[in-house]
Structure 1
Amino acid sequence: MAEKDLEKLPDDLFTNNDVQSFSWLDINVTVKDRKSKEPLTILDSCSGYAQAGQLVALMGPSGSGKTTLLNVLANRSQSPWTGYTKVNSRSIGRKELREISGYVEQDDALVGSLTVRETIDFSAKLALNGLTKGARQAMTDSLIAAFGLRQQENTVIGTPIRKGISGGQKRRVSVASQLVASPKVLFLDEPTSGLDSAASYEVMKLVSDIAKKHHLIIIASIHQPSTTTFELFDSLLLLSRGRTCYFGPVRNVTTYFDQVAPIPVLTNPAEFLLDLVNTDFDASERLQTKADLVTVQSHWRSSEAYHSLQSGLAKSEYAASATLPATDTRTGQPVRLDLPFILLHRNWIKSYRDLLTYGTRIAMYTGLAILMGTVWLRLDYVQSSIQPFVNALFFGGAFMSFMAVAYVPSIIEDLQTLKKEHANGLYGPLSFMVANFLIGIPWLLLITLIFSVITYWLSNFRVAADGFWLWVLWLFLDLLAAESLVVLISAIVPIFVVALAAIAFANGLWMSVGGFLVPMDTLNVFWKYVFHYIDYQAYVFQAMMVNQFKKTTYSCERLGGSEYYCMYPSDLQADGKIRGTAVLEAYKYSYEDGKMWEWFGIMLGIIVGYRLLGYLALWVRTRGF
């Protein structure tokens, strides 16, 4: 990246950057081993520090604890830990740290259907309150230019069915999306993972230059960088089995290890060190050195570099000239009522660009409508068609609900985005849930209308305007409840296969206890009183039964002369007809005026209940990050 590109970043992008030092002292993480149930040490007395303008590397073999340490430093660890993290010589809490820091995860949790410009712009909208549109666009333009993304600014990030930008460009977008919030400390988890040597250097060179130009503190976990990338870092913390093997300037690495295990000339120092402290293999045979991990770690404890670390920590503790203000520019602001609408706008763009969100579901439901309409094609109003009508009503409501499982991939992607952005302090589960519910309404209504226009008239349901629109209303409520159930289960278990299986099981349960497959007077009392009355499919089926049969009549079979055989006796039997209400009475469904609106209220309660439970599940899950 050319030096002139960095000049495109505004000088006031990181205003009031009064964080001069970040230090961590005696960080310990111990968990219970899943197999042996014995205590397992992940981190053991790790200490270090970083000054403004420095790029610090956390390096070590797989399982060394570097990602755990990074999460502890960013106050995102799911495991209990002891020790201290300090900014400008004083301890700092989770909320305060997140207000001055940003975190770029190893996996780019970006919305694939947004363009590069939209991604950075939405990050600015979410992070910065009260910024004018012109100022926000100027900041976005500056970041796009500085990160060399001008040619890709209108290219989408990329989805499973639509190619987008490259891996290196995604990394740059991820970093730019965090920098737009003006952090003082930036944590990067494996920022070069999956990138080739050239792309890794490009990303880290830009990050290093920004740190120095704007006096940021950047701490990155990194695995096996190239020599040129490794030399971009100012300091290195080398870990193995949770213990420190070296902490100090990168430029001193070769000199330091000359006393333990000399690094051969023309050898990548990072690669050599990772091999040296890797306990999964015998380093002595590969590296032709007699040093082992115990030797390396014991030498560290007695080295001059160790004493320099203690001296550096002391300076960080007592000699920091600046003090971190009690509040940040984002602290103490009023509750942001605009957040759900910003998320709604972003969700709207995703919903019509990403075919996996609603496009695929529209195609699925259209296919189901054609299938249903042609199978139950133009049913006559004779008694032999009564059961097919009933079957069609059950099939339509039940499978409309069941096929909501197609929403699982999209909602899980959204939940991953929520996890990342909530951890960065942008918004909470309430804003997410409100936006998610609102964006579904127009699309589910469209799906309902497409399905109804095709199916209702092909199958010859009750020919009346009120009959059609009541059908639409109940199918719409059916889809709202089904999607709310998908959101609830996915919020509890955001794992694709598990969520899919749980939702399929729930739909199977609702079909079984709804009152069609097993009549209510036969259904086991446990299933009836525990599950039937909270089964939204049951209310949809009852309401559609009343809509179809309350105002219709059906012809009976003539036995000969003036006698008729009617399957459902009614006051019209002498005329060779069956009143539709007789069918409802046989199914023990109430059809008096006002009953349907009682069911309508129950349906709204179920939908709201699912959403509230979904919010509660997200609130519990997001408390840990």
Structure 2
Amino acid sequence: MPYATSDTHGRDEGPDLEMNPVRSAHLANDIVDTFSWANLNVVVKDRKTSAPKSILSDSWGLVRAGEMLAIMGPSGSGKTTLLNALAHRVAAAGATTTGDILVNGQKTSLQNIQDLSSYVEQEDALIGSLTVRETMMFAARLALPSNISKREAFERVDDLIASFGLQSQAHTIVGTPIKKGLSGGQKKRLGIASRLVTNPKILFLDEPTSGLDSALSLEVCSYIKDIGRRHNLVVVASIHQPSSATFQQFDSLCLMSGGRTCYFGPVSAATRYFGRIGYPIPPETNSAEFFLDLINTDLDKNGEIVRRTDDICQSWNVAEERSCLSQAIQKSNEASAHSTSRYKVARPSSWKVPLTMLHRSWIKSYRDIMAYGIRIAMYLGLAILMGTVFLRFKTEQRYVQPYINAIFFGGAFMSFMAVAYVPAFLEDLGTFKQERANGLVGPLSFIASNFVIGLPFLFGIALLFSVVAYWLTNFRADASTFFMWVLWLFLDLVAAESLVVLVSSIFDVFVVALAITAFANGLWMCVDGFLVPMNILNVFWKYVFHYIDYQAYVFQGMMVNQFQHGEYGCDEGSGGQYQCSYPSDLNSEGKFRGTDVLRQFSISTGLEGTWVGITIGIIAGYRILAYLALVLRK
């Protein structure tokens, strides 16, 4: 039986590419006629033995323009491995991929695949505070070249929104944990539509129906199929346990188990093929479920399913359909009228991407309460707490230690509470990873826009906190000292947020990032010079951590800001004698200078400019390390 495909009416056809009506109808305007792969293998090292272990074996396949391929199999069958390998992504950690990936019968490179395709991840990475139209417009601005006018971009966006049935939700937000937005099916459609705005020729979908019920799955696949037919796309999707109606939306099936191919061909011919090799489908049975149950070795108790799967894979290797598939792949180069080796996609100008990301981050920052709104409320509550607990201190000795406590509390806990930024940053990071994998943005644009957009919000938080806490506590009442306090608090917050960005860039799991950031802030509190003065701090903690602790410089700067020019009265003891806790040449007068307090903490004056510079250097160091972490994690 020759290798067959099915057209829009389910009609079986032979391997002759010129006979495919879907492809030939658009041939004059298309770049990609066929997408295929041959002898594709993925090998990793076994974790226990370190021996080579194959997770994808001798995979062959062919998809024509206008067709939709389902890569199907039980969990662990190699679906995502194959999909990633086809998209020139890392198939698995430490994996080695060999074989040929062909567009129009010609080997293709990573850059060529990125120019020709878009990849939609299994997990949605949409920014919840943006509307549907805003999401699409930002996707267009990140991808479309500068020579495309705004009018053309808007038309393309509106056409896609209409094509995916999202017109009535165009001005609805995607949805946040606090404010409900789109449904699950609508989010899936939006995620796919935002990748189609670049007009790709090949669309990779990693389980586009995951998390959806059968009705929503059918809805999503129907929209994908319609778009694929009308725009003559090659659509390759991994899918797990589809309903019968959803399964029938696909033209071709690649059935896998344990990284091996069990069948590749038209969906309409699969039932006949399995019946011929001795596995007929019972009447009124969902064929997709039957195929999966047939090869699902996870359910094996006595080795029967493993033996059956081996038999099915061996039958495929010697089947006539397998031979015809190989011949069709070999002939695809001869049949194609297009070469994609020199195909290049025009990209936006270098300045447009960071500005677009800056604009998007600005909208999210003021609209999403999770980004800064909750933190503003937290810091305002902390300011009221601090101002009413450390209330109206005087220039007397008994208030000196509470003053110091207030300085430490203000800086350290403002810094510690920056952990609330972790979830908002991880949402941005997830979006960035998907856009980066599709070749749209780079780490520098992401880190730079994230840094710039946070500055006005952090300055506003520092000023709001200071207006409340500074005057209630009764710190030194002059404008220059107040604004110097605001500056130190602002630097503290910027450094703390930069630490969150660094840790979250390395450990992009919420609980892990939260725990490590909290631990780091606890460490900085311990070695900043307040809990243990510098003259008795253990040398290891002093020389290894104290000098890279931004909280230490903030604490020292605030201490100098408060005590450098002040004088304080000693306590009066019995008999009219003064009891002074801080040695000073003014003790005989019942006073001591603020510099005497600083001496107790080994804090020198006149170094504020140096401390500001070091703190800015630490901030820059955190951001540069975050950038390098993202570069190395590509």
Other-structure match for 1:180:
197
Other-structure match for 2:116:
100
| 1:127-164 deviations in Å (ceiling 9; x for gaps) | 11212222111111111111110111111111111111
* Counterpart-to-counterpart distance in 2, 1:279 and 1:215: 37
Other-structure match for 1:616:
628
Other-structure match for 2:73:
60
Q: CA deviation at 1:291?
A: 8.2
* Counterpart-to-counterpart distance in 2, 1:158 and 1:95: 34
* Counterpart-to-counterpart distance in 2, 1:546 and 1:450: 22
Q: CA deviation at 1:379?
A: 0.9
* Counterpart-to-counterpart distance in 2, 1:132 and 1:364: 43
| 1:149-189 deviations in Å (ceiling 9; x for gaps) | 01111111111111111111111101110110110100001
The alignment status of 1:147 with 2:161, answered yes or no, reads no
CA contact under 8 A between 1:275 and 1:283: conserved in structure 2? no
* Counterpart-to-counterpart distance in 1, 2:489 and 2:156: 46
* Counterpart-to-counterpart distance in 2, 1:280 and 1:175: 31
Matched letter for residue 248 of structure 1: G
* Counterpart-to-counterpart distance in 2, 1:611 and 1:485: 8
Q: 2:32 aligns with which of 4, 19, 42?
A: 19
Q: CA deviation at 1:65?
A: 0.3
The alignment status of 1:171 with 2:188, answered yes or no, reads yes
* Counterpart-to-counterpart distance in 1, 2:326 and 2:348: 42
Q: Could you say if the C-alpha distance between residues 283 and 201 of structure 1 is closer, same or farther in structure 2, counting changes exceeding 3 Å?
A: farther
* Counterpart-to-counterpart distance in 1, 2:574 and 2:327: 109
Spell out structure 1 runs of 4+ moving beyond 6 A: 283-286
Other-structure match for 1:266:
284
* Counterpart-to-counterpart distance in 2, 1:111 and 1:58: 28
Q: CA deviation at 1:122?
A: 0.6
* Counterpart-to-counterpart distance in 1, 2:601 and 2:191: 58
Q: Could you say if the C-alpha distance between residues 558 and 309 of structure 1 is closer, same or farther in structure 2, counting changes exceeding 3 Å?
A: same
What is the percentage of aligned positions where both structures have the same residue?
Answer: 56
| 1:239-270 deviations in Å (ceiling 9; x for gaps) | 11111111111111121111120112221111
* Counterpart-to-counterpart distance in 2, 1:245 and 1:355: 50
Q: 2:53 aligns with which of 20, 37, 40?
A: 40
* Counterpart-to-counterpart distance in 2, 1:479 and 1:273: 56
* Counterpart-to-counterpart distance in 1, 2:581 and 2:306: 93
Other-structure match for 2:608:
596
The alignment status of 1:372 with 2:386, answered yes or no, reads yes
Q: 1:127 aligns with which of 143, 155, 160?
A: 143
Q: 1:217 aligns with which of 229, 234, 240?
A: 234
The alignment status of 1:361 with 2:361, answered yes or no, reads no
Matched letter for residue 229 of structure 2: K
- Alignment root-mean-square deviation, CA: 2.1
Matched letter for residue 179 of structure 1: L
Q: 1:316 aligns with which of 318, 332, 343?
A: 332
Matched letter for residue 478 of structure 1: D
Other-structure match for 2:4:
none
Q: 2:345 aligns with which of 329, 347, 365?
A: 329
* Counterpart-to-counterpart distance in 2, 1:34 and 1:158: 40
The alignment status of 1:453 with 2:467, answered yes or no, reads yes
* Counterpart-to-counterpart distance in 1, 2:556 and 2:443: 34
CA contact under 8 A between 1:127 and 1:426: conserved in structure 2? yes
Q: CA deviation at 1:36?
A: 4.6
Q: Could you say if the C-alpha distance between residues 283 and 99 of structure 1 is closer, same or farther in structure 2, counting changes exceeding 3 Å?
A: farther
Q: CA deviation at 1:491?
A: 0.7
Q: 1:88 aligns with which of 101, 104, 108?
A: 104
Within 5 Å, give how 1:186-197 maps onto structure 2: 186-197=203-214
Q: 2:43 aligns with which of 9, 30, 40?
A: 30
Q: CA deviation at 1:574?
A: 3.3
CA contact under 8 A between 1:20 and 1:320: conserved in structure 2? yes
* Counterpart-to-counterpart distance in 1, 2:203 and 2:301: 34
* Counterpart-to-counterpart distance in 2, 1:127 and 1:201: 29
My pick for the range that moved more, 333-342 or 260-269, is: 333-342
In the superposition, the TM-score normalised over structure 1's length comes to 0.93
| 1:70-119 deviations in Å (ceiling 9; x for gaps) | 01001112422111111112111112211110011111111111111111
My pick for the range that moved more, 85-94 or 274-283, is: 274-283
CA contact under 8 A between 2:408 and 2:530: conserved in structure 1? yes
Q: CA deviation at 1:335?
A: 5.2
Matched letter for residue 632 of structure 2: V
The alignment status of 1:276 with 2:294, answered yes or no, reads yes
In the superposition, the TM-score normalised over structure 2's length comes to 0.92
Structure 1 portions without partners, runs of 5+: 4-12
* Counterpart-to-counterpart distance in 2, 1:562 and 1:115: 73
CA contact under 8 A between 2:120 and 2:192: conserved in structure 1? yes
The alignment status of 1:255 with 2:267, answered yes or no, reads no
* Counterpart-to-counterpart distance in 2, 1:248 and 1:484: 52
* Counterpart-to-counterpart distance in 1, 2:228 and 2:28: 14
Q: 1:574 aligns with which of 588, 595, 606?
A: 588
My pick for the range that moved more, 276-285 or 395-404, is: 276-285
Other-structure match for 1:518:
532
Q: Could you say if the C-alpha distance between residues 579 and 498 of structure 1 is closer, same or farther in structure 2, counting changes exceeding 3 Å?
A: same
Q: Could you say if the C-alpha distance between residues 285 and 94 of structure 1 is closer, same or farther in structure 2, counting changes exceeding 3 Å?
A: closer
Other-structure match for 2:17:
none
Give the secondary structure class of the aligned counterpart of 1:547.
helix
The alignment status of 1:605 with 2:622, answered yes or no, reads no
Other-structure match for 1:6:
none
Structure 2 portions without partners, runs of 5+: 1-7, 9-25
| 1:470-528 deviations in Å (ceiling 9; x for gaps) | 00000000000010011011111111111111111111111111111111111122211
My pick for the range that moved more, 111-120 or 310-319, is: 310-319
Other-structure match for 1:352:
366
CA contact under 8 A between 1:33 and 1:39: conserved in structure 2? yes
Matched letter for residue 513 of structure 1: V
Other-structure match for 1:72:
85
CA contact under 8 A between 1:553 and 1:579: conserved in structure 2? yes
Q: 2:178 aligns with which of 146, 161, 176?
A: 161
Matched letter for residue 375 of structure 1: V
My pick for the range that moved more, 116-125 or 344-353, is: 344-353
* Counterpart-to-counterpart distance in 2, 1:177 and 1:577: 70
CA contact under 8 A between 1:467 and 1:548: conserved in structure 2? yes
Matched letter for residue 598 of structure 2: L
CA contact under 8 A between 1:125 and 1:342: conserved in structure 2? yes
* Counterpart-to-counterpart distance in 2, 1:590 and 1:229: 73
* Counterpart-to-counterpart distance in 2, 1:283 and 1:199: 34
Q: CA deviation at 1:425?
A: 0.8
* Counterpart-to-counterpart distance in 2, 1:474 and 1:443: 15
Matched letter for residue 600 of structure 1: V
The alignment status of 1:418 with 2:436, answered yes or no, reads no
Q: 1:553 aligns with which of 563, 567, 592?
A: 567
Q: Could you say if the C-alpha distance between residues 285 and 517 of structure 1 is closer, same or farther in structure 2, counting changes exceeding 3 Å?
A: closer
My pick for the range that moved more, 561-570 or 149-158, is: 561-570
Matched letter for residue 83 of structure 1: G
